[in-house]
């Protein structure tokens, strides 16, 4: 009797098991198909996003020449060279001048690879000069020479630098001369020339140029993709920051120590920190 029941139970399992197993395997296959489909959709979405980004970048690049024309017209239209009230249009508080400077500074780094950007640097120099920020103007024309050494505007830049050295920046004439000599010795690709030049700036203790040079170093760090001596640029920023605020300088010296443990400039950073700390004790 017992053996009959056992045979019956085994028979039932033999009938039921295949269908149960089939039910269990179906969801697994469906999951695999769904996962593959999801992966395919993600890949297509990523390709679409990359394509959109590339198209947007391409369309923005296509607008660059039009922006240069816009800058040239705007600078020309907002320049006042005649009349009793000319001084009213050459103030550092003139909104259009500040707006033009901000727009052209952004353009300069975004389109640095475009040869025509040399015109934007020349325009920057003109606007800085007319608002009487002569140190910034001098730097604009020096950066033009560094970034675009074969530009037809180099001669005009040299003329402007000579005029500033003999007039408004007469006290900094020696500094400008030394910087011009350094520029003349530069070689390599644009990033190499810029990095070498900005490194050299750290050797000058010239407060009047500090803020503008520091701003260029910060912008260069964001733009740079090939110049390997990033620690040297950080060191330059730290030294130039001393003229701005000791705490800011300390941050950048410590940043160099934290991010570049193998840097040959660690000793210089430690000396910079020690110098600032000693200065605090004297207060």
Angstrom distance (rounded) from CA 26 to CA 130: 78
Task: Please give the average per-residue pLDDT across 159-187, as a whole number.
Answer: 97
Largest CA distance in the chain: 125
CB neighbour list of residue 78: distance below 8 Å, 6 or more residues apart: 89, 96, 97, 100
Task: Please say whether the beta carbons of 97 and 132 come within 8 A.
Answer: no
186 and 196 Cβ atoms separated by less than 8 Å: yes
Average pLDDT over residues 199-218: 91
pLDDT digits (tens, 9 = 90+) for 128-154: 999 999 999 999 999 999 999 999 999
Average pLDDT over the chain, rounded to an integer: 85
| Residue of 127 and 4 predicted with greater confidence | 127
Gap between the Cα atoms of 223 and 275, Å rounded: 31
Percent of the chain with pLDDT strictly greater than 70: 79
How would DSSP label each residue in 88-135?
A: GGS-TT-HHHHHHHHHHHHHHHHTTTSTTHHHHHHHHHHHHHHTT-HH
């Amino acid at each position: 009797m017992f053996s009959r029941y056992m045979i019956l139970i085994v028979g039932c399992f033999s009938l039921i098991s295949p269908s149960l197993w089939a039910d269990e395997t179906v969801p697994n296959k469906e999951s695999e198909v769904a996962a593959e489909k999801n992966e395919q959709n993600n890949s297509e979405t990523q390709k679409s996003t990359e394509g959109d980004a590339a198209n947007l970048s391409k369309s923005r690049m296509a607008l660059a020449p039009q922006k240069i024309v816009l800058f040239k017209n705007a600078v020309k239209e907002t320049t006042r060279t005649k009349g009793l009230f000319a001084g009213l249009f050459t103030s550092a508080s003139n909104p259009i001048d500040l707006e033009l400077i901000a727009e052209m500074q952004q353009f300069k780094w975004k389109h640095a690879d475009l040869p025509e950007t040399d015109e934007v640097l020349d325009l920057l120099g003109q606007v800085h000069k007319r608002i009487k920020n002569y140190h910034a103007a001098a730097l604009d024309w020096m950066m033009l020479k560094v970034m675009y050494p074969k530009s037809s505007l180099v001669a005009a830049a040299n003329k402007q630098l000579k005029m500033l050295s003999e007039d408004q920046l007469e006290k900094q004439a020696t500094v400008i001369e030394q910087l011009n000599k350094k520029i003349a010795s530069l070689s390599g690709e644009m990033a190499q020339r810029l990095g070498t030049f900005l490194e050299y700036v750290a050797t000058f203790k010239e407060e009047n140029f500090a803020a503008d040079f520091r701003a260029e170093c910060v912008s260069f760090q964001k733009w740079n993709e090939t110049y390997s001596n990033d620690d040297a640029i950080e060191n330059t920023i730290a030294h130039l920051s001393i003229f701005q605020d000791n705490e800011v300088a300390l941050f950048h010296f410590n940043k160099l120590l934290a991010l570049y443990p193998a840097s040959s400039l660690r000793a210089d950073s430690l000396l910079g920190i020690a110098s600032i700390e000693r200065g605090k004790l004297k207060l």
